[in-house]
Amino acid sequence: MVQVQLDSLQDSGAVDSSSFTPTAEMQGPGVVIRGPLRFRQFTTNPQVTSGTIQPVIVHALLDITGKVLEAESLQTADASLSDAALQLVRTSNYGPPPGRGVPVQREVFINVQFGPGQPAN
């Protein structure tokens, strides 16, 4: 909630147009955050014994090279699968985004899908 009281209004007078000119530090490529991406990552886990895929959604922030900066599991019904999904995502590198000339940080939702079997080495 914001409460504002305006007592008076004055003309700002002459405006210095140089204050609207970007400095050298303001120009050039910068890091941009785009809307979230969603994709799947498949893996096997010996704890999954049925033929059913068990998904865990992980929310992560990737740097411009695809390295995971932050990650959190969005579900905790099975803590061991959530921990395994977080470990997998944190140790993965998803590479830079294809076809962009500007460095881009990415917010992603990774659907880590566990299937039966031995973990991949």
Mean pLDDT for the stretch of residues 80-98:
90
84 closest CA partner among 107, 106, 109, 115:
115
Number of domains in the chain: 1
- pTM for the model stands at 0.65
Instruction: Please indicate, yes or no, if residue 25 is contained in any of the structural domains.
Output: no
Instruction: Please indicate, yes or no, if residue 121 is contained in any of the structural domains.
Output: no
Instruction: Please indicate, yes or no, if residue 11 is contained in any of the structural domains.
Output: no
Instruction: Please indicate, yes or no, if residue 12 is contained in any of the structural domains.
Output: no
In this prediction, residue 111 has a pLDDT band, given cuts at 50, 70 and 90, of very high
Which range of residues forms the domain containing residue 74? 33-115
The pLDDT score that the predictor gives to residue 121 is 44
Instruction: Please indicate, yes or no, if residue 6 is contained in any of the structural domains.
Output: no
**Which stretches does DSSP call E strand in the chain?**
32-33, 37-44, 54-62, 68-73, 104-115
User: How is residue 97 written in tokens?
Assistant: 């985004």
In this prediction, residue 30 has a pLDDT band, given cuts at 50, 70 and 90, of low
In this prediction, residue 31 has a pLDDT band, given cuts at 50, 70 and 90, of low
Instruction: Please indicate, yes or no, if residue 26 is contained in any of the structural domains.
Output: no
User: How is residue 43 written in tokens?
Assistant: 């893996």
State yes or no: pLDDT of 100 exceeds 70.
Answer: no
Distance from the first to the final alpha carbon of the chain: 53
Longest dimension (CA), the chain: 75
